[in-house]
Structure 1
Amino acid sequence: MNGPQPLTENLQSLAKLADDELQAVLLEGVSRTFALTIPQLPGTLYPAVANAYLLCRIVDTIEDEISLTAEQKKRFCSAFIQIVKTGQGAEAFATELAGLLSDQTIPAEHCLIHLIPRVIAITHTLDPAQIDALAGCVETMANGMPIYQALDLHAGLKTMKDMDDYCYYVAGCVGEMLAKLFCHYSPQIDTHRDELLKLSVSFGQGLQMTNILKDIWDDAKRGVCWLPQDIFTETGFNLAELTPETDDDRFRQGLEHLIGIARDHLQNALHYTQLLPSHETGIRNFCLWALGMAILTLKKIKQNLSFNESDQVKISRSSVKTTIAVCKLTARSNLLLTLIFNLTSRDLKTPGWQYLPKSHTGQ
């Protein structure tokens, strides 16, 4: 898929697929993790969640595209909100955006952008309540993410609250959307709606913080840092001095603190999962697999604080398989899940530091 002809051939093949097959193939191309976890969901949830992820990935693609100016990104994001809500204008939008994508955007995302009309058509086959949840998430994400395009991020974010806000726009709002979809799916789950909505933001932040910590050095090479300066001010390190060659104990101390904060968010993720009915093993596994892989990633970072490439803290395929196996065996038992979480994450806490994750103040 390196040139126009292979791309055209691939698009023609994809266009022949049924909706669920198409979404599965697109997911596999843009996220192997979600391609693995989303199929665990009940059949009535799968189309909506798969579609939601693809919509969010379209917003991500716009934000990551180096050929677009900040103003263009804001315009495309605003237009996409209306397209998701109304189902109108997808063809012209896709044609314009696809023509502006650079080679830095991966081939699978080129395909996704070309197929926006089909993805939007699938969106509007969903239940109205599901469409509302998806549209609300896209609106929050597409309005929030452009804020950071105007910032100079080489020296990080100013405060932990700024990091909280960023994580909300890129992941917390996705957690809220999933909670709404789960509540719509099951009246039993809906009895915990308020608590699930609060915890879902923390769940999303735990996963996003894990990704940020894993990708510190990949981001640094692009002159970007998503870490909060106030955490590192306490250890005496200035994030403006951060480079891929940084080797500083003060930086590693701040990193340990952030690992502890991410761990606390993931503990909220566990509580969220435990509120789901024990017989809903598909939804529980969807949550637990992501939670388990995040904890193992944080452990690898904690054990190798001097890492300088994301591949050095990427969990192995055998670890992924073990996580899946353990989750399947224990998904129904809240007691076993608590014991495993405490055992696995016990080394992630930072003595002398305390942070209590809260819901996003903008809710």
Structure 2
Amino acid sequence: MALADRTVRGGLFAGSRTFPRRQEKPSKSPFWIRGAFVRGGSRTYFRDSRCGPSAQTAWMSLSGVERRRIIAGMATDKNLIETLYRSVARQQALFTTLLPDDLEHAMVDAYLLFRLLDTIEDSSLAPEERAADLEAVADDFPAALEKRSIRHAQAERTPPAYRSLLENFQQIFSFHREQPPNVQGIIEETGARMASGMAKFALREAEVGLGKRPALIEDFSELEEYCTVAAGYVGEMSVRLFDLFGALARADDEVLEAGRALGNFVQIVNVLRDSSSDRERNRSYRPRETAGLADKEYLNQVFSFGRNIASRSELLGEVVVKPEVRTYCATLHGMASLHLTFYQQTAPRILHERIKPPVTLFILFLPPRLVGRFLLYKIRGLFRARD
């Protein structure tokens, strides 16, 4: 049985090759508002203007229905959406260009919304406060996410990339509302599941802080549970979107599991990559059951765990019928595998410093159409690092 109705084809930019490639910096104004701001029958216009605290307060005084009506009438700035996406998605922004246009736009929409969700999970709020915010978002996604985006935009310690997202959150919601209704539904259901799972782990973090729980992650089954919340649900969502746009030969629970496994595999690599920075934040995803092991022995268990998960995603190579989508999945799987192999060869350095595989390793692997863009991405990264 199909996982999603296949009646909707095409997206916001159907017929276009990709997003426009002209880049613009995101608006520096606190909130990007286009269209009419309606309040009490009067109409006040904020056209690409700087809106201070009074405008923020006025915006939040509107009912949810009024806010959604305004967002629905806004004209999405496609250049801004692309710039925001590239600023937070980095390499993923390259990979999604492999997808057909309508599917690419759906994935961009999901990524931006879920990054807004990350601003809550990664905020400096106490774990209990984060859990409360995340539970509220899970109960009313995406409306509650919009409400909390304003509060987190005002937080002083919000990272610069996240701040750009939060300052332009209304454009992100406008872009979301321009997707086909069943695309919106799949993305919103996934966001609610992610928020609920994030709330669960925030409460566990609070219990660790109070001494009621010995560690955030007890064993490898809990590590996989965390990976599912962080990326596995996105893998399932991807499968549902692939099916919606006719990219699968079949779509059933086994294929959903393969999509979840691909997401979990990518997240295992991310956990290893961020080991040193997570330690600086007093956050550890190392299972407590491995506490007595030497670093290399622990890492060998993680490598074996990751490769086992990766093997469960291989079914996607058999059921994906659109070549562009198959290439996209193979690229995600292959890039994660290359990183895992590199970390294994250089173990245990990844636990103590952030190390990167040599660029030549990826050039030999990437699809030809991505090589030039990947090199440009790396060159820009070098200049940003110098700044």
- The TM-score range, normalised by the shorter chain, is 0.7 to 0.9
Question: What displacement does 1:229 show?
Answer: 2.5
Count of aligned residue pairs for this structure pair: 300
Q: Report if the CA contact (8 A) 1:172-1:202 is conserved.
A: yes
Structure 1 residue 32 corresponds to structure 2 residue 90: yes
User: For residues 101 and 56 of structure 1, what CA distance do their matches in structure 2 show?
Assistant: 21
Evaluate the alpha carbon distance shift between residue 10 and residue 99 of structure 1 in structure 2; reply closer, same or farther with a 3 A threshold.
closer
With over 3 angstroms needed to count, the CA separation of the structure-2 counterparts of 1:155 and 1:70, relative to structure 1, is closer
CA apart distance, 1:108: 1.8
1:112 to 165, 173, 177: 165
Shift in Å, 1:316: 2.9
Unmatched 5+ stretches in structure 2: 1-25, 35-46, 49-74, 372-387
**Is the Cα–Cα contact under 8 Å of residues 138 and 193 in structure 2 kept in the other structure?**
no
Give 1:136 deviation, angstroms: 1.1
Distance 1:51 1:101, change over 3 A: farther
SS of corresponding position for 1:192: coil
The one-letter code sitting in structure 2 at the alignment partner of 1:130 is V
Q: TM-score, normalised by structure 2?
A: 0.70
In structure 2, the residue matched to 1:8 is 28
Take 2:281 and 2:93, find their aligned partners in 1: how far apart are those partners? 27
Change (3 A) 1:327 1:209: farther
2:255 paired with 1:196: yes
Distance 2:235 2:229 in 1: 10
Structure 1 residues 266-308: Cα deviation after superposition (integer angstroms, max 9, x where no partner): 222333233211xx22212221222111111111111111204
In structure 2, distance between residues paired with 1:84 and 1:147: 16
1:55, distance to aligned residue in structure 2 (A):
1.1
- 1:52-67 alignment, distance < 5 Å: 52-66=110-124
Matched, 1:44 2:102: yes
Q: Which residue of 1 aligns with 2:174?
A: 121
In structure 2, relative to structure 1, the CA distance for the partners of 1:72 and 1:251 (3 Å cut) is same
Distance 1:123 1:259, change over 3 A: same
- Kept in 2: contact 1:184–1:190 (CA 8 A): no
Tell me the alpha carbon deviations over residues 12-56 of structure 1, each in whole angstroms, 9 at most, x when there is no partner: 699979554333211211121111111211011111110101111
| 2:225 paired with 1:165 | yes
Equivalent in the alignment of 1:245: none
Q: What SS class does the counterpart of residue 329 from structure 2 fall into?
A: helix
1:258 equivalent to 2:291? Answer: no
How far, CA to CA, are the matches of 1:127 and 1:273 in structure 2? Answer: 27
Q: Pick the structure with more helix per residue.
A: 1
Gaps of 5+ in 1: 1-5, 238-249, 330-363
TM-score of the aligned structures, taking structure 1 as reference length: 0.74
CA, structure 1 residues 130+44, in 2 after alignment: closer, same or farther (shift >3 Å)?
same
1:232-282 Cα deviation digits (max 9, x unpaired): 26xx43xxxxxxxxxxxx2311211110111122222333233211xx222
Q: 1:132 to 1:18 in 2, by over 3 A?
A: closer
Which of 150, 153, 158 pairs up with 1:98? 153
Equivalent pair of 1:172/1:203 in contact (CA under 8 Å): yes
For the residues of structure 2 that align with 1:116 and 1:196, how far apart are their CA atoms? 33
Match for 1:293 among 335, 354, 357? Answer: 335
1:132 aligns with 2:185: yes
Q: Which structure has the bigger radius of gyration?
A: 2
Change (3 A) 1:310 1:269: farther
Equivalent residue number for residue 74 of structure 1: 131
- Quick one: which amino acid aligns to residue 196 of structure 2? N
Give the letter aligned to residue 129 of structure 1: N
Give me the whole-angstrom Cα distance separating, in 1, the residues matched to 2:249 and 2:181.
Answer: 17
Report the CA distance between 1:190 and its aligned residue.
5.6
Q: Which has the higher contact order (CA 8 A, sep 6+)?
A: 2
Deviation sequence 1:51-85 (CA, Å, 0-9, x none):
1011111111111111x223432343344446645
Is the aligned partner of 1:181 residue 2:238?
A: no
* Counterpart residue type for residue 131 of structure 2: K
